[in-house]
Structure 1
Amino acid sequence: MPEAIAFAAYGGPDVLKPTSIDIPEPDPTQVRVAVRQAGVNPLDWKLRSGAMAAFMPVELPWIPGLEVAGTVEETGDGVSGFQVGDEVFGRAPHAYATHVLADAEALAHRPEDLDARRAAALPVAAEAAYRALEELRVEPGETVLVHGAGGVVGNLAVQFALERGARVIGTAGEGARDRLTGLGAEPVTYGEGWAGRVREVAPHGVDAVLDASGADVLRESVELAGDGGRVLTLADPGAAQEYGALFSGGGPGADRTGPALDLALTLYRRGTLSVPLHAPYPLTEAAEAHRRGEAGGLDGKLVLTVE
């Protein structure tokens, strides 16, 4: 029987419980996917806890999740790019389930040699990184500072900015230094004094700043860039307003999943795509995955295994 993980009330990880679901039927522009892997994102536990309830309420019971990798089981009458049996990955709501519906335009074909877990880790992070660089208008030859470059979103932002021809400086922990250097970025240790360390490698400042960390970095970032219009955070709308920086939260009309996955696949085919992964959790242990994510300090993306 098809199953999912849902919460019927806001609260801690323990409110996540198994539930039975009906097999969904796709609308004309949708695809039904048998899920093999489902990504876990901070929004999932923020919704579950009720932290977002004031401005992003959900209809309870709610099945979390935003991204999947799996196999096409059925296509809508208007879908032409996918067939039953295709291996796909992309964005899909209610992804903590054995079966989901996804808009065809939010999916991509998964190459045979790209494992499903890595593919499921890509859509949300890739879309956020791509969208942020678009909104920052990053051009070849510019110097871009990425905060949280050791995380999944920051890691992809580094790769996408380098692909645009930018010089990239990334703040991260010591454990990510070698990985960032290998990508072609210049790592700077985060924490107290980070701005001085950035100035050592970029004495004339930077052209643009992308904050994927949510740390208290925007005031000094605006000073480094000299213009709040070239500083964007994906994590702290309040600080963005305070310091005259930009905030990007996605939403209707802003989604860039298609081109983001195209770019990620371009890097993958070239053999340069890096997607750090944390140890996997079974779908039935989604609560434990949330506990680990909320504890912070992850060394890679959390993914739930459904198969």
Structure 2
Amino acid sequence: MPNTYQAWGWTPGAGLDGLQLISKPLAQPGPGEVLVANRAIGLNPVDWKICEWGHPDWHQGTVPGVDGVGVVAAVGAGVDIPLGTRVAYHQSLSRDGSFAEYCLVDAYLLMQLPATIDDSVAAAVPCPAITAWQALAKVPPGASSDVLVIGAGGAVGFYLAQLAVQRGLRVWATAGPQHHAALKALGVVDVFDYHNAQWQAQLQTALGDRPLHALFDTVSGAHAASLAPLLGYNGHLVCIQDRQETAPLPAFSSAISLHEVALNSIHAYGRLLDHQALRAAAQQLLQHVADGQLLTPQRRLFDFAELPQALRQLKEGNSGGKWVAQLSRPASR
């Protein structure tokens, strides 16, 4: 075990340009903690956003990154996970994150990996797939089973469309034209090009008399609010980016329900039962990926040393898939 490890450290006020590869002392896990030696790191939009916006708990040298996959290198008191166990995790934004060779994680956050799943595949799962699961869990059954996923070409929307189809819902989606065939092959009824100014009218024509029961928006709170009129009576507006600070429709009109999705909030506000439910769901998602029942977005693999450049590509919308960093075994120092 080395005494130090390499990590990408954050610089206040410098955004992505301030990420620097630094050496940090390797801390040993305390009670209830696990030290994970990272093997793959999944990039998410929240990563570049918080690097640019900052966070109340961050300071010079804080390590960003929420998603990681690796092996258990050391455990603290009260933890009975065997060394060498392959795990995935979704880290709290209030702690040093996954953009590093090692990461200290609370043991209750760890998801054990199926033996047949590759590290880089698993790294594409935690944040987007669990977020999609949470979003879908917000919506109860209704008179109609028609739902709309906005931005199904992105990682969260891609998982959400699949999970909704598997739940037996009639799924409609918006996405760039390059994603249409793949989404339809997964069971999406139809996909609309959001660049087309007539896509909303096309959807309403396709729905006919069937009300839209739920709308999942992955763009912004303002964008979600603009689409609220598409929902039918007692429909559900689910915001995966931002939230609705004010009701988007008049009172006593279509009586829609408003939902906020905030995965990171579970670290501060979740209790034991919340963590148990989330981990059970995450384990099932990983197993479904391993079994081929749930497809991951196309992965774009890169070396750990290129992480800031990949994060910038993600910010600029040049994703074309899910960015995943690969790490070799850290050398002893």
* TM-score, with structure 1 as normaliser: 0.89
| CA distance 1:39–1:227, shift in 2 (3 Å) | farther
Q: Which residue of 2 is the match for residue 166 of structure 1?
A: 169
Q: Which residue of 2 is the match for residue 105 of structure 1?
A: 108
Q: Which residue of 2 is the match for residue 202 of structure 1?
A: 207
Q: Contact 2:221–2:239 at 8 Å: present in 1 too?
A: no
* CA displacement at 1:213 relative to structure 2: 2.8
> What is the count of residue pairs matched by the alignment?
302
Q: Which residue of 1 is the match for residue 295 of structure 2?
A: 274
Separation of aligned partners in 2, 1:76 and 1:67? 21
Q: Deviations over 1:102-150 (max 9, x none)?
A: 2222221212221111111111111211111112335797221111111
Separation of aligned partners in 2, 1:249 and 1:141? 26
Q: Which residue of 2 is the match for residue 193 of structure 1?
A: 198
Separation of aligned partners in 2, 1:89 and 1:241? 37
* CA displacement at 1:240 relative to structure 2: 5.6
Q: Which residue of 1 is the match for residue 152 of structure 2?
A: 149
Greater Cα offset, 56-65 or 69-78: 56-65
Gaps of 5+ in 2: 250-257, 329-333
Q: Which residue of 1 is the match for residue 63 of structure 2?
A: 63
Separation of aligned partners in 2, 1:199 and 1:263? 35
Give structure 1 regions of 4+ aligned residues with deviation exceeding 6 angstroms.
Answer: none
* CA displacement at 1:304 relative to structure 2: 1.7
1:261 to 250, 263, 282: 282
> Aligned letter for 2:206?
V
Q: Which residue of 2 is the match for residue 122 of structure 1?
A: 125
Q: Contact 1:118–1:277 at 8 Å: present in 2 too?
A: no
Supply the RMSD in Å over aligned alpha carbons. 2.4
> Aligned letter for 2:71?
T
Q: Contact 1:140–1:165 at 8 Å: present in 2 too?
A: no
SS at match of 2:294: coil
Q: Which residue of 2 is the match for residue 304 of structure 1?
A: 325
Q: Contact 2:36–2:71 at 8 Å: present in 1 too?
A: yes
Q: Which residue of 2 is the match for residue 18 of structure 1?
A: 21
Separation of aligned partners in 2, 1:269 and 1:46? 30
Gaps of 5+ in 1: none
Note the 1:223-238 alignment, pairs <5 A.
Answer: 223-226=229-232, 230-237=236-243
| CA distance 1:143–1:52, shift in 2 (3 Å) | farther
Note the 1:233-252 alignment, pairs <5 A.
Answer: 233-237=239-243, 241=246, 243=248, 245-250=258-263, 251=265, 252=268
Q: Contact 2:289–2:296 at 8 Å: present in 1 too?
A: no
**Larger-Rg structure:** 2
Q: Contact 1:283–1:304 at 8 Å: present in 2 too?
A: yes
Separation of aligned partners in 1, 2:318 and 2:224? 21
Q: Which residue of 2 is the match for residue 87 of structure 1?
A: 86
Separation of aligned partners in 1, 2:98 and 2:136? 26
